[in-house]
Amino acid sequence: EDQVTQSPEALRLQEGESSSLNCSYTVSGLRGLFWYRQDPGKGPEFLFTLYSAGEEKEKERLKATLTKKESFLHITAPKPEDSATYLCAVQGEYGNKLVFGAGTILRVKS
């Protein structure tokens, strides 16, 4: 059974204080690992897709990396507007459904 574990559950940062969010996964044949951002009361917003170990993608202050067992979402010099829940999901080789982790709630204070 595909599983995703995210840590930490919650993270509080000062503005400008860089950090990383972790997503550990087990999946039978990884098709893709996805990162989403979700604001309260809204649907998830797509950030990145990673397909193979060693791959990296960047978008503004965010950078996602992937190994065979985990993915990291690095946040460089965060701003208060980066506050949100960050969700990680995997898609295995059978079917196209996503299995989500519980998410990391990020709060950035000015």
Give the position of tokens 């990673």.
50
Three-state DSSP state, 28: coil
The reply on whether position 87 binds another protein by CB under 8 A is yes
Applying CB under 8 A, which part among 19-27, 44-52, 58-66, 76-84 lies near another protein? 44-52
| C-alpha to C-alpha distance for 98 and 110, rounded to whole angstroms | 34
The reply on whether position 92 binds another protein by CB under 8 A is no
Ramachandran class of 95: left when φ > 0, alpha when ψ lies in -120 to 50, beta otherwise: left
Applying CB under 8 A, which part among 19-27, 56-64, 74-82, 101-109 lies near another protein? 101-109
Interface with another protein (CB under 8 A): 31-32, 34, 36, 41-46, 49, 87, 91, 95-103
